[in-house]
Amino acid sequence: MVGLGMVSLVAGCTTPLTPEQRVQFIKADPITTSEANKAVEEYISKTFKDPYSVRDLKVGVPRLAHVAAGGYDHLWVIPFSCNAKNSFGAYIGNREVLAFYSNGSVVGGQSEYPLGFWEFFNGQTFDPTLYGGD
C-alpha cells in the first residue's frame, strides 16, 4: 500500500480540477456507495491492529482529489470514522481516517487528523485560507 501523505483537496497544494476534467475522471473511474464501503473495509482489514473490533463505523461521501505524490494524478478519498482496539486491547475512541481509492482498490490512507477533515467528511468544500493556506 502506498503512503500518499496529504491529498491536495485537503492540503490545497495543487491546481484544482476543472469541471470538465472532474466529469471525465468520474466517468473513467466511478465509485459507488457499495465500493466505498468495501474500500473502507479493505483499508481497515489491512491497517488496523484488530479489524474485528471496529465499532460505530461511519463512512462519508467519497470525494475526487488531485494528488501530488504516489504516482497518481487523481483518486477518490473516502472519509470515515470509527472506534477500534489498539495493541493493548483497549478501545481508543472514535478516530477520523481517510482511505485513498483508485482503479478498484485501496492505495493508501491517512489516519492522522488532517486540516479540514470535518469539512471534507461532511461534504463541504475545504477552504485552506481558514487555516492560513493560500
pLDDT tens digit sequence for 62-119:
888 776 656 666 788 888 989 999 999 999 988 888 898 887 888 888 776 555 555 6
Is 1 within the bounds of a domain? Answer: no
**Dihedrals phi, psi of 35, to nearest 5 degrees:** -65, -40
Give a yes or no: residue 132 inside a domain: no
User: Does residue 120 form part of some domain?
Assistant: yes
Q: Is residue 134 part of a domain?
A: no
Top mean pLDDT of 8-17, 81-90, 94-103, 125-134 is at 81-90
Structural domain total, the chain: 1
Residue 133: the pLDDT is 41
> Is the per-residue pLDDT at 123 higher than 50?
yes
Residue numbers of the domain that contains 58: 8-125
List pLDDT tens digits, range 22-57: 677 666 667 888 999 999 999 999 999 999 999 999
On whether residue 33 sits in a domain, the answer given is: yes
For residues 57 and 67, give the distance between their C-alpha atoms in angstroms, rounded to a whole number: 26
Query: Mean pLDDT across the stretch 124-133?
Result: 48
Position 17 in a domain: yes
DSSP string, the chain: -------HHHH--SPPPPHHHHHHHHHHS---HHHHHHHHHHHHHHH-SSGGG-EEEEE---EEEE-SSTT-SEEEEEEEEEE-B-TTS-B---EEEEEEEETTEEEEEE-S--TTHHHHHTTPPP-GGGGT--
Predicted local distance difference test score (pLDDT) of residue 118: 55
Residue 35 within a domain: yes
